Chains A and B, each alone.
Chain A
């Protein structure tokens, strides 16, 4: 099986690479690239993302043909894709970090700043928080409800169609922290930094 972590200069992806390498243990071919041909021939794709919504979208767009290739992979061909953090947020139509920025429009919705209730909640939302599973998701196999995952973000994805939400977390309000729609998966938290439970989610994705 060929699994590709999309490297589009979206910031630090060493931890994503390390965790997938650990879980894959040489049983799958893991590539880290932005090469269109390699992406096309992959069985599964991970779309990481760090930094701002705008900087990630700009980086994706700066690589010729990348956005179209990803769309063909995930939307047309319906092959498994996992977005992590801003990688998930970019599924939306629009993001409001820095300036209003168009997203990939794969799952209708917006990405807006977490309401910190006038400073009552510190931002970024950093640390371990419990996930509340909202629907069965293939990547949550053997993951208990209220498991702890590691978060670092100030913006949240608000999808129009609530049926895509697979888990939420409680921080000032119920924040969407995981989505599943068919072959499309996304986590706002960082499975690559979420200890043994996080590695389980990565294994579940690899074993789909």
Chain B
């Protein structure tokens, strides 16, 4: 039976791990390579790096981190943030990333998803959707780390990127991110019901029960969280044991 994945996410800025509260007010919390190794040794099913300010800065920093991490972690490594070109993807994959997560570039031009999945295979193309609730059961796609409104319906966009070859969706609720009040379960449900590719839930985890909700109520194939693991509140193992005790199948 396929297991539900637990993915710790490391937001990286200037080569250091940070975690934003609603994407502002960044705190410094460690060396990304060391953190990734701790997570992988602790049973993380995958590791995710998000280079949160990559659009404005030198990309070599993240490539160097990926190169070092990939030599020590033998679980899948996903890298996102500032990916604009096929060359950006090539550089990250050569450095040792297994998947890349594309956000703004996918919204700007869905053909980029098609081109990337054709060239590298769907298995390594994740599309990150940042969505904000605009009315009852309606969410809109935002870009640039949640700063720019697009007027694109999140559910329609998810269907479109699936058609264009995305292998997975990394779905972040902008309303919930950093609040620790749980995933936006309705948003998750809306997206998981209208697509046939795996969805990774993101944004809002504060307790282990939130992980349970994301999988069982939201239909997510994987749950991503940052701060609850980051500041030592919970270990990956705690999360897995909790889910297992609630009859959610995980890799123990």
Contacts and interface: CB of A to CB of B under 8 A. Distances in A.
Interface of A: 11-12, 14-15, 18-19, 21-22, 50-52, 55, 116, 119, 122-130, 148, 150-154, 170-171, 192-196, 198-199
Interface string B203-225: 00000000000000000011000
Nearest to A151: B2
B250 to A, nearest CB: 8
A122 B196 CA distance: 5
A126 B123 contact: yes
B70 to A, nearest CB: 5
B221 A127 contact: yes
Report the 9 A-B pairs with minimum CB-CB distance, sorted nearest first: A51-B121, A152-B123, A12-B93, A14-B96, A128-B251, A128-B3, A148-B251, A129-B2, A119-B196
A127 B3 contact: yes
A207 B96 CA distance: 25
Contacts, number: 98
A55 B120 CA distance: 10
A11 B117 CA distance: 11
A199 B74 contact: yes
Contacts of B222: 127
A126 B221 contact: yes
A14 B221 contact: no
Contacts of A192: 74
B76 A124 contact: no
Nearest to B196: A119
Contact of B198 (A22, A126, A130, A194): A126
B5 interface: yes
A129 B95 CA distance: 26
Between A122, A124, A126, A130, the greatest number of chain B beta carbons within 10 A of the residue's beta carbon is seen for: A126
A12 B167 contact: no
**Chain A interface SS verdict (over half):** mixed
B168 A148 contact: no
Interface residues of B, number: 31
Given A126-B168, A150-B75, A18 B121 contact: no
Nearest to A153: B123
A18 B123 contact: no
B241 interface: no
A70 B122 CA distance: 27
Nearest to B94: A14
22 contacts: A12-B98, A12-B120, A14-B96, A18-B74, A122-B198, A123-B196, A124-B167, A124-B168, A127-B2, A127-B198, A128-B2, A128-B45, A129-B1, A129-B2, A129-B3, A148-B3, A148-B251, A150-B76, A154-B122, A193-B76, A198-B74, A199-B74
A195 B40 contact: yes
A196 B43 CA distance: 10
A171 B94 CA distance: 30
B194 to A, nearest CB: 11
B74 A193 contact: yes
Interface string B137-162: 00000000000000000000000000
A115 to B, nearest CB: 13
A171 B2 contact: yes
Nearest to B2: A129
B121 to A, nearest CB: 4
Contacts of A124: 122-123, 167-168, 197-198
Nearest to A123: B196
B107 interface: no
Interface in B28-74: 40, 45, 70-71, 74
B188 interface: no
Nearest to B222: A127
A125 B2 contact: yes
